Amino acid sequence: MFMKSSWIKILPIFILIFGFLFLDAKKEMKESVFVFNTKRKLEDNIEKIINDNKEKKMEVNKKVDDKFIYLEFSSDNKVFSYFINATTGEESNFEDFIKENKRNDFSKKINELIYLKYPKFIADILTVNNGNKVYKIENDKLIIYFENYVIEPVIEEELFLTIDFNEVKEYLDFSFVLNKEYQNENGYNFNKNKKAVALTFDDGPGGDKTNKIVELLEQNKAHATFFMVGNKMESGISVMKNVLDKGNEIGSHSYAHKSMKRQKINDLLSDEEKTKEIYHNITGKNLIYTRPPYGAINDKIKESLDTIFITWDLDTEDWLHRDKNYIVDYVMENVHDGDIILMHDLYDSTVEAVEELLPKLYAAGFQVVNISELANLKEQVLENHNIYRSIRKN
At a CB cut-off of 8 Å and minimum separation 6, what does 284 contact?
Answer: none
CB 370 within 8 A of CB 224: yes
How far apart, in whole angstroms, are the C-alpha atoms of residue 359 and residue 338?
18
DSSP characters over 74-85: EETTEEEEEEEE
User: What is each CA distance from 346 to 111, 164, 330, in whole angstroms?
Assistant: 35, 43, 19
Q: Which of 164, 253, 339, 344 is catalytic?
A: 344
Which one-letter DSSP state was computed for residue 342? E
Closest to 362 measured CA to CA, from 119, 96, 175:
119
Contact 271, 254 (CB under 8 A): yes
142, 333, 377 from 191: Cα distances, Å:
22, 23, 7
Helix then strand count (H, E) for the chain reads 13, 16
44 among known catalytic residues:
no
Query: Which member of 202, 203, 271, 337 is catalytic?
Result: 202
301 Rama sector, left if φ>0, alpha if ψ -120 to 50, beta otherwise? alpha
Helix (H) / strand (E) containing 341? strand 340-344
> Would you call 378 exposed, middle or buried from its count of C-beta atoms within 10 A (0-12, 13-18, 19+)?
middle
Integer Cα distance of 210 and 343 in angstroms: 12
Helix (H) or strand (E) holding 283: helix 265-283
Answer yes or no: 202 catalytic. yes
- Listing DSSP states for 96-130 in one string gives GGB-GGGHHHHHHHHHHHHHHHS-HHHHHHHTSSS
Work out the end-to-end distance of the chain between its first and last CA atoms, rounded to an integer number of angstroms. 115
**How many angstroms separate the CA atoms of 238 and 206, rounded?**
11
What is the helix (H) or strand (E) element at residue 270, kind and residue range? helix 265-283
Cα–Cα distance between 117 and 392 in angstroms, integer?
Answer: 26
Catalytic residues: 202, 344
